[in-house]
Amino acid sequence: MAVTSSLARAHWLAVALLASCHSRPLDRPDGGAVSNGTTAGQSGANGGSPAYGGAATIGHGGANEAGAASQSSAGGAAGETNDATPCAPTARGVPEGWKPLALYGSRCVYVPSARADLPAGLTWKPCAVKAPSLSDCREIAIDWTTDGSNATGGSNEAFVGPDGHVVLQLRRMYEDHAKNQAAAMALVVEVDGQVRQALWDPYDDAARPPFWFLPGGIGDHTATWSLYEFGADPAERAGFGGSDQDLEPKLLFELQAGRGLPRPGKSYFADTGNPLTIRDWADKSLAAVEGSADSNVPRWAGDVLYWSREGAITSEVRVWTKAGGSVVLRGFGDDSSRAASELGTDGKDLVWLEGSGRDTGSPEAPYPTRAIYTAPFTTDPEQLKPRRLRSWLPEGMSNSYPPVVGCGRAAFVHTRPGNSADPSGVFRDILVVRLTDGISWRVESPAAFQFDAAWTTPLALTCNELFAGAGVNVRRVALDALGEGTPAD
């Protein structure tokens, strides 16, 4: 199948959502909507009632103003019930000195009272399982207490700053199956440095409440999070975020059906609902782009939003700027025998896939000719200068994760036919391509399939390292350990 249909894409996104959160979802927010400086239940789109614990407000930085005096001692030892706050029936393991941040009525996460209370950063260790060809590989050391199978919370996000420093957005999952307890520490953290933002999410128990607390993404010193109502139709979502230095993320939008994941840029964020909507940090709509059901997860390069619109018939790559609006950067109109998809960029280079030669009478057929293309960064289709790099082996030319681009290279999810050792039926490799000459390196998954070691998606590229999701962890691989590479074809 060349370009994923809307149905297949919905399945992919559902699988990705389950993979990112299959460990434990959130406890239920027992109250009405909360707005910036507005009493819960007054203006929430869902008409929520503050009957479950009373009204709460988020104002001037997101502090909970209702019952603040009774919440000043919201600390507790791990595994203990904390009765000092009305925000949740339990608050197991809240770090000492942290305070509640009310989201909806009695629904809370907990935040540090001061930057000095932020937890320690990540530590790294040699990869426990790797392909024999991979000589250099490190992964996050699970140095927190859990007996679960998803210690880092599933799908993670990464951003490479102008200084080359890599920042991750992930969750440390704390599970105790014997006690039927679970909690999460949500983090924005430099890979070799300090934690920038942290939130403690005290799950009531290990059952599945209807709301999940999910990463929304990280950008240029920005980060977003969301509450997602799993299983509801239509589902409701609420967004939080702003500066990744904020100890108390601000409410971006209330629980509403049709709102999507808030994807953060520098000056704006993208609401991935349908339609795809670009908003400023005060949640003012700047633009709406129709056809979002066929679009993959958008990303930002500064104030430029880029994404691929990948339908069953046609496929194109697009960008949005405040000055120029939404434009097709590369596409082929009604010519369904050709496609452009999977756009990635670091603001210096553009990289994408192209296919051609498809039988127009069979839209589910693969494209016989497939290749990786690149061009210098531009937002003007008239100035785009496409250059073919090398062939693209997999028949699949779309998924929800575009390539990551950085320092003159791009890294793609690179699926190839598997065997009985891999129950998914594919080997999930990563393909690293050099943009000057098309030389590539295939970063192999373990020869024997293991879910907790198989690659999921590339997260970031620096001049020295590749960062990628691997099962339920994050790995880093030195680029100079990949060997000579394969010449372009």
Quick one: pLDDT at residue 130? Answer: 86
Pick 206 or 1 by higher pLDDT.
Answer: 206
Judge contact between 303 and 320, C-beta under 8 A. Answer: no
**Mean pLDDT for the chain overall:** 78
Encoded tokens for 440: 């590539």
Quick one: pLDDT at residue 117? Answer: 96
**Residue 451 falls in which region: left (phi positive, over 0), alpha (psi -120 to 50) or beta:** alpha
Strand partners, 120: none
Chain segment 249-279, per-residue pLDDT in tens:
999 998 888 888 999 999 999 999 888 999 9
- Pick from 263-272, 297-306, 393-402, 454-463: least confident: 393-402
Encoded tokens for 28: 């239920």
Q: Give CA–CA dist 312/408, Å, rounded.
A: 32
Judge contact between 223 and 197, C-beta under 8 A. Answer: yes
User: Is the pLDDT at 60 greater than 80, yes or no?
Assistant: no
Encoded tokens for 61: 């930085």
User: Is the pLDDT at 128 greater than 50, yes or no?
Assistant: yes
Of 240, 227, 323, the closest CA to residue 281 belongs to 240
Of 350, 392, 387, 342, the closest CA to residue 371 belongs to 392
Quick one: pLDDT at residue 220? Answer: 92
Sign of CA dihedral 359, 361, 365, 370: positive
CA distances in angstroms from 339 to 134, 294, 312, 393, listed in the order given: 34, 14, 10, 15
User: Is the pLDDT at 426 greater than 90, yes or no?
Assistant: no
Quick one: pLDDT at residue 349? Answer: 98
Judge contact between 440 and 432, C-beta under 8 A. Answer: yes
Helix (H, G, I), strand (E, B) or coil at 229: strand
Quick one: pLDDT at residue 120? Answer: 95
Pick the most confident of 61-75, 224-238, 295-309, 373-387. 373-387
Q: Where are the domains of the chain?
A: 29-119+163-259
Quick one: pLDDT at residue 423? Answer: 63
Of 301, 280, 300, 279, the closest CA to residue 289 belongs to 279
Encoded tokens for 52: 């479950």
User: Is the pLDDT at 302 greater than 90, yes or no?
Assistant: yes
pLDDT class of 77 with cuts at 50, 70, 90: very low
- Pick from 92-106, 176-190, 398-412: least confident: 92-106
Q: What percentage of the chain has pLDDT greater than the value 90?
A: 47
Strand partners, 330: 317
Residues 6+ apart with CB under 8 A from 282: none
Per-residue pLDDT, averaged over 1-8, amounts to 36
Quick one: pLDDT at residue 467? Answer: 97
Quick one: pLDDT at residue 273? Answer: 86
Chain segment 190-248, per-residue pLDDT in tens:
999 999 999 998 765 555 555 778 899 999 999 999 988 777 788 888 999 999 999 99
Q: Give CA–CA dist 33/38, Å, rounded.
A: 9
Quick one: pLDDT at residue 206? Answer: 54
Strand partners, 474: 469
Pick 151 or 51 by higher pLDDT.
Answer: 151
- Distance, C-alpha 147 to centroid of its chain: 24
Chain segment 153-181, per-residue pLDDT in tens:
877 999 999 888 999 999 998 888 887 77
pTM of the model: 0.81
- Distance, C-alpha 127 to centroid of its chain: 23
Residues 6+ apart with CB under 8 A from 281: 242, 252, 267, 268, 269
